[in-house]
Structure formats: C-alpha cells, structure tokens
Structure 1
Amino acid sequence: MQRACAVFVLLLAMSAPGATRGASHEPRYKSEFTYDEQLLEKMIRMEAEMDKWETRMNEQLGQLTSLREHIDHLMKTEDSRLELIKEAYVESRNNLTALLSRADSQVQQLIEKIKKETATTPNILFKARRVKNETPSAGEIIVFEDVLYNHGSGYDRSSGVFIAPIGGTYLFTARLLSQSGGSVFFEINVNGSMNSNGALYGHQGHSYASADSVVRLLHGERVIIKSLYLNTIDNGSRLYGALASQSNEFTGVLLHV
C-alpha cells in the first residue's frame, strides 16, 4: 500500500500543469482528468502486477523454505543412519576381533596339544646282562655288568643303578635264571621301595624268575634290582652266569615323557 501511495504521488506530480507539458505545446489529452484517470489506471495495474510478483516470490520462498527444511530433515536422518551404521560397524569389528582372538587361542592350544601328543619321545633305553655276583646276599644290589646298549646313559654298570636322565613313564623288566634246583627271590626297587618282585623256588632244571614294572619317574630318581632274603640262593645254588640266550638281564625304556 505504501508503494501504491508513492507511485500515486509521483504520478500526480508528473501530471501537474507544466510538469509534463510546456507552455508552447498543445495537450495530448482531451482534458487533465482524462490524463489523470489513465495514469491512475496504469498505477493500479502496476500495483496489481507487483502484488502478483510478490505473491509468486512468497510462494517460491515458501517452496525454498520447505525444500530446505526437507533437506535438513534428510541430513539429520542420514546422520542418524550413519551413526547407527558406525555403531554397528564398531560393534561388529569388536565382536570379530574377540572371535578371532578366541579362535587364535584355541588353534594355539590345539597346536600345543598336537605337539605334545606327537612329540618324539627321547631315546632312553638300556639293556644289561651277566650278573657280577652269582650268589647275592639279602638286600644286595644285583649288578648286571655286560651292557649291550645304554642310550641316554641312565644305567651305571659299576653300581647296577639306573638314574632317570629325564622325567617320564618307564618300563623296566628283570629276568633271573637260577641253576638247577636253586631258588631266586628279587624285587624291582624304585627310590628305596619295592615296586615289583619275582620269585622261583623248588624247581627242576634251569628256570627263570621274572618281573616287570611301569613307573612314573622324575629326573634323578633311581631304580635297582635287589636280592631278597638271607638265603636268596637256596641250598648253595647259584644264578646262572653264562653269556648265552638263557643269561640274566635287566632292561629299561622310556615310554613317554
């Protein structure tokens, strides 16, 4: 409305006598009223056009505002989605890392287990024969002085004592052969205690007394063959001392570490 008033005042000023026509010119209109009417009519049309343009601009501004709000909403929605995606990614990555860590640990444990189960057992093995004393007394260590092999150097041929080079499960066997009519009583002694024993009494001809033992030893523990009783060799009989297939023997082997 203020624009319309300003235009109207401007048009009135232009329509004043002498403002648009010189004194020496003839008027182009029949009367000043006709000129004013036409001028006012133009002003009204201009104001209408301006109103239309203002309406269109307001509509376009409204559309732009709506579009901007929609874009803002989409951006906020996308930010929320991105945040959710980021959180899900971080959680999945952490879960995957933990899963891989557990899998690595389980695989490592399995590898260690397989290594233990398939590890080569050290070659600890000995075999000795031919007793040093054919008439041992009660409590005496029976020494086998002819050593066929002694892998690991656990058996001492001078003392008859086996000392475990490493800890593990061992198998020991002893076989003693008496002369005809004699008796044999002995034990496999582990760290000072009887673990197994063998006996032979009142037989005819050469006969064996044997014993075996599976024991778990620690490094440095001792195993011996010990004679039992005062009359170990009854009636003056003796252990058979010949180096032949019937000879006395003491063996040991590491089964598992």
Structure 2
Amino acid sequence: MRFSLFFSFVIVFGIYSYNFSEAREPVCSKFAYEEQLLEKMIRTEIKVESMVNEVKKTEDNVIRTLSDIKRAVSDFTDMFADMKENITDEMLKRSDEIERREESFKILFEETRTNLTSDMKAKREELTQLQGKPPIAFHVHHVADLVLDKADEIVIFTKSLINEGTGYDTSTGIFTAPVGGLYQFSVHSCVPQRGHAFIGLVLEGKVIAADVNYDDVFHTCSAFGAIARVKSGEKVWVKSTSSSSSRQLYQDQYRMITFSGMLVNN
C-alpha cells in the first residue's frame, strides 16, 4: 500500500510538472503540442519506472537485511538455548553427584556412629561385669609329695594363701580359668643339696615354661614363670618333666615352694 501511494504521488507530480512546463512553452500547433505532451509523458513514465525499480531494489534490500537479521537472531537464540541446555545438564549432573556423595557420607557416618556406639556399649557391659566379679588370683604353697619319681607327675600344692575366684584346686593341683584372658604365672621351687628337680609349667598339656634346679653344696631355690592367654575353662598346672627317684623338691621354714597366678587383662 505504501508503494501504491508513492507511485500515485510520482504520477501526480509528473503531470503537474508537465502542465507547468506546458504553460511556459509556446505552442506552435496542435500537432506539436500533442507530440510534446506524448514525449513528456514517455519521459515521465520512464522516470517513474526507474524510480519504481529503485524502490523495489531498496525494498528487496530491506527485506533481505531483515531476513538476515531474523536468521542471525534465530541462530543466536538457538545457540543460547543449546548453551543453556548444556549448562543446565551439567549443573544437574553435578547436583546428582553431590547428592550421591552426600548420601554415601551419611551412610558411612551412620555406620561409624553405630559401630562406635556398639563398641562403647560392649565395653561398658564388660566393665560392669568385671566390676561385679571378684579378681582372679591365687597363691599356693606346701607340696605333700616331694619325690618326683613318676613320669609327668603333677606337683600338688596343698595350702592356699590367696584363691580369688576359686580357680585353684588344692586336691588336684590344677588351676581352671574362671574367665578367659591374659594371665601371669610364676613357680618358685627348691631342691636339697645334690638333689635335682626338672619341673615345668603346663597349659592344657603343653609345657610353656620349664626349669632345672641343682646345687652340689647347698639347698638351693630358683624361680621361673610365663604370661599366657588362657581361655575360660582351660587348665594350668606344674609337673615334673623328668622322673627319677633322685628327682625331688625341698621345703622348710626358710624355703617355700610356691605356685601363683593372676588375671592381668581379659
């Protein structure tokens, strides 16, 4: 519509210009007048056509420029959308990773807290049980049979000075652990002049410490011991490791044969 108004304006302007020029030019004849009018109209039409072509070119350029701008804006919009989508995807991935790590940390923390709580509870119960129980310790002496003439003969101590926990039996010479744990044992033995004694400390049939005692001039004594982990119900005793009629122990008011033990830690 704008083009049509412009074209009408050009036609009117051309006719007005023609009439103005016609009024100023002398008219020689009717034929000359029509010829001049036709010539002017042709020139005007040519100018109008040229102007129309220029306007069309300008309009095409404007339309092409607008299309380029629109295409550029569309490309930028698409590129921005892609960038936004990529950034959003990356942020979602990072967010998921953070959530997974946070969940793993929570699980690990909860497991650690549960384990620590359980361990502390078990330790408290163990301490409570220990506090409610008497200590385990014994110290015995006096051997009725001093001659070690039998193989693997158990040395029986018949008198007890301490027997906390009643683990030692003076009739059998055997200590039975009331509770499991780490125990310390010691044996003190004496032999007469020119006498021999081969004795050992036994845990469940296995010798865990041993001693040989002899002196050619005096009655003499020696001591040995061991630290061992003993399970609840396991047995410990002292025995001869070499039997003979010459193998014997000695005791008097100055020399005591003793066997002792105590629970160090369970």
With normalisation by structure 2, the TM-score equals 0.55
Number of residue-to-residue matches in the alignment: 216
Q: CA deviation at 1:154?
A: 3.4
* Partner of residue 25, structure 1: none
| Correspondence for 1:60 | 66
Evaluate the alpha carbon distance shift between residue 141 and residue 85 of structure 1 in structure 2; reply closer, same or farther with a 3 A threshold: same
Q: Residue in 2 aligned with 1:71?
A: 77
2:156 matched to 1:142? yes
Equivalent residue letter for 2:70: L
Q: How does 1:1-257 map to 2 (within 5 A)?
A: 56=62, 59-87=65-93, 90=96, 96=101, 125-137=136-148, 138=150, 139-150=153-164, 153-178=166-191, 182-227=195-240, 228-231=242-245, 234=248, 239-242=250-253, 246-254=255-263
Q: Please, which runs of 5 or more residues in structure 2 have no aligned partner? A: 12-22, 24-36, 121-125
Q: CA deviation at 1:76?
A: 1.0
Q: Distance in 2 between matches of 1:163 and 1:221?
A: 6
RMSD across aligned C-alpha pairs, in angstroms?
Answer: 5.0
Q: Deviations over 1:157-186 (max 9, x none)?
A: 443212234444443210023456654332
| Partner SS for 2:256 | coil
How far apart are residue 225 of structure 1 and its match? Answer: 1.0
Question: Tell me, which stretches of 5 or more residues in structure 1 are unaligned?
Answer: 12-29
Contact 1:166 1:218 in 2 (8 A): yes
**C-alpha distance 103-250 of structure 1, shift in aligned 2 (>3 A):** same
Alpha-carbon deviations, 1:44-85, whole Å to 9, x = none? 889987885675455335423321221111211332243344
Bigger helix fraction: 2
CA displacement at 1:133 relative to structure 2 = 1.1
Determine the C-alpha separation between the residues in 1 that align with 2:217 and 2:82: 107
- The letter for the 2-side match of 1:173 is S
Question: Structure 1 residues 144 and 102 mapped into 2: Cα distance closer, same or farther (>3 Å)?
Answer: farther
Alpha-carbon distance between aligned partners in 2 of 1:67 and 1:153, rounded to the nearest angstrom:
98
Distance in 1 between the 2:72 and 2:90 partners?
Answer: 27
- Mapped to 2, the partners of 1:102 and 1:59 lie a distance apart of 62
Residues 177 and 207 in structure 1, CA contact (< 8 A), matched pair in contact too: yes
Q: Residues 188 and 225 of structure 1 are in contact (CA less than 8 Å); yes or no, is this contact kept in structure 2?
A: yes
Q: Which amino acid aligns with 2:205?
A: G
2:220 maps to amino acid: S
SS at match of 1:67: helix
